[in-house]
Amino acid sequence: AMEKSRPLWDNPLQFVFACISYAVGLGNVWRFPYLCQMYGGGGFLIPYFIMLIAEGMPLLYLELAVGQRMRQGSIGAWKIISPYLCGVGVASVVVSFFLSMYYNVINAWAFWYLFHSFQDPLPWATCPLNSNRTGYEEECEKTSSTQYFWYRQTLNISPSLDASGRVQWEQALCLTLAWLVVYLCILRGTESTGKVVYVTASLPYCVLIIYLIRGLTLHGAVNGLIYMFTPKLEQLSNPKTWISAATQIFFSLGLGFGSLIAFASYNEPNNNCERHAIIVSLINSATSIFASIVTFSIYGFKATFNYESCINKVILLLMNTFDLEEGSLTADNLNEMKDYLMATHPQEYAQLAPQLKNCSLEAELDTGGGGGGGGAFIVYSEAIKNMEVPQLYSVLYFVMLLMLGIGSMLGNTAAILTPLTDSRVIAARFPKEVISGAVCFINCVIGLIFTMEAGNYWFDIFNDYAATLSLLLIVLVETIAVCYIYGIRRFEKELHTMVGRKPNWYWKIMWAFASPLLIISLFIFYLTDYILTGTLQYQAWDATQGQLVTKDYPGYALAVIGLLVASSTMCIPLGALGTFIRKRLKSERVSTI
């Protein structure tokens, strides 16, 4: 294996910080609490930790060990293991390129919200007035002020994918700023990331601790925590619970993107990558649980606030309609009074019934979150606007999102840059600053698609389809390659040289049997899910109703989805085919000589 000129990391701690900065992201502070809410509260932790042991730690260790041993980025590392596997590294780079194209848009949105966080009142706190200044905007009245700010003032979203609209210059500027920040962090290639990761890895924890202290003191926070820690064990019989747990572990650790291999390739050859794999995976999972406690305290506050507001509106409506004495109707006796009024004033109550909302704290908690990228902005901004000194908590939250997003982007760009700088042809002709700048510029220009009026629909396409199947196939080939092509005994000896001891039976069983079977199961599930779904659909914003509606993807969108999946997965067989043809031609030339 070709040696790096020098290790990037000043010390092993810096490497751990880089891995944590990359792995801990929006998936931990947003996606995990959402899945926890969807699939049985505390009960979701059971399949989650089983998947961590069976899938997360072994595959993380494998990728770190391969990168550290081969001292190359993803393309070079798998080429050394077998020339026929060069396509695996190329597939990882393609997937990382797709991810970089759309993921930095989240940072652009975070900048947008951060800039608006200094206003008093916050712009998403109330609905704006209409053009005549005689009332509120009609679209905002049909939804909520936070959803209106997201869909109309942030995205200016079109009614469907077909109405592409124009580029939103405010979002385009925010995206340019996001890419400029990333470029400054990687200015000297991946070397400069070593200085940045201390901030991007540690600052989110400081913000989460502040939010934890504030969250636990909020009115109704305990309702959210009870909801989180009350396990719904019946969800354990739901296959989607296990699939979601496995997928969450898989993606939150960033397996298959090539970033971890790139980071590990800059380690000292004798670095204890086994210990670091365990530390990083445990910190990653602990962060998810810690963030869930913070998020569910916010859920509880938001749900309690909405529930009590609903109760107060019902009380006010009943008191005004039936001319009741003030104080005679309370939240405690509301149901009894409703029964009494229905019995004594049946006609009036029947006319009023459609306006009386059925207030339920459980229902509010059930709908507290949202799985998409927009949920991280809508739900938190909804809770923040009702806090004391909302500007402070808004600034803290969106700075945290930026740190998480930039940390993940450093890993994504490292996965692209390391193979490029490893290439003697490219590295000899261009300095690192030019290579880094070119990658950022190309991604930024293509990313302008996501700032159009239909950009959020394209964002969802990339988020849902650019990586899922491709990454599963990449990691499956990686484990098979190490265990059955390179040879697990040979790999075992090299780990002994690096770490100082051979891997125990747990690692070998997981690498050779459990993890590949698990990945194959996930792969089959996703394929059958896509097939059984029939026509793929997406959620479009209907301004006239003030809500999301389901629509079928048009033909050209389906073609793009197919292209996204094929362009990365086909790299693996095409790389093997290309190597076979080159070797065949070479042998024929030798035989003719």
Quote the pLDDT of residue 7.
Answer: 55
Query: What is the per-residue DSSP string for 197-216?
Result: HHHHHHHHHHHHHHHHHHHH
Contacts of 194 (CB under 8 A, 6+ apart): 8, 9, 10, 14, 18
| Structural tokens at position 198 | 């201390």
Q: What is the CATH number of the domain that holds 396?
A: 1.10.4160
Would you state the pLDDT for residue 337?
A: 86
Nearest C-alpha neighbor of 176 from the set 240, 92, 111, 242: 111
Residue 87 is assigned to a structural domain of this protein:
yes
* pTM given for the model: 0.88
Domain for residue 4, yes or no?
Answer: no
Q: In this structure, is residue 1 part of a structural domain?
A: no
The angle formed by the CA atoms of residues 34, 36 and 39, to the nearest 5 degrees, is 105
In this structure, what are the phi and psi dihedrals at residue 357, rounded to the nearest 5 degrees?
-75, 145
Contacts made by residues 8-11, CB under 8 angstroms, sequence distance 24+: 8/190, 8/191, 8/193, 8/194, 8/266, 9/194, 9/266, 9/267, 9/268, 10/194
360 is in an annotated binding site: no
Using only C-alpha atoms, the chain has a radius of gyration, in whole angstroms, of: 26
Q: Check: CB of residue 118 under 8 Å from CB of residue 395.
A: yes
**pLDDT given for residue 561 in this prediction:** 93
- Evaluate whether residue 307 is within a structural domain: yes
Predicted local distance difference test score (pLDDT) of residue 373: 59
Report the distance separating Cα 164 and Cα 158, nearest Å.
7
User: Is 246 labelled as part of a ligand binding site?
Assistant: no
- Asked, for residue 8, whether it belongs to a domain, the answer is no
Q: DSSP letter at 125?
A: S
Q: Which two tokens stand for residue 512?
A: 């050779």
Give CA–CA dist 415/89, Å, rounded: 10
312 labelled as ligand-binding? no
244 marked as part of a ligand binding site: no
Integer CA distances (angstroms), 108 to 115, 370, 391, 448, 517, in order: 11, 20, 19, 11, 39
Number of domains forming the structure of the chain: 1
Q: Which residue has the tokens 């996204």?
A: 564
Residue 3 lies in a domain: no
Burial bucket for residue 389 (CB in 10 Å: 0-12, 13-18, 19+): exposed
- At 283 the pLDDT is 95
Low-confidence ranges of the chain (pLDDT < 50): 1-4, 6
Q: Is 23 annotated as a binding residue?
A: yes
Q: What does DSSP say about strands 537-542 and 547-552: parallel, antiparallel, or unpaired?
A: antiparallel
Residue 370 has a pLDDT of 56
Please say whether the beta carbons of 305 and 234 come within 8 A.
no
Residue 5 resides in a domain: no
> Can you give the pLDDT at residue 6?
44
pLDDT at residue 135, as a whole number: 85
Q: Is 6 part of any domain?
A: no
Convert the pLDDT of each residue in 457-480 to its tens digit: 999 999 888 888 888 899 999 999
Distance CA 348, CA 409 (A): 60
Point out which residues pair with 542 in neighbouring strands. 547
pLDDT tens by residue, 345-371: 888 888 888 888 888 888 888 776 655
State whether residue 552 is helix, strand or coil.
Answer: strand
207: containing domain: 13-592
Paired with 170 in beta bridges are none
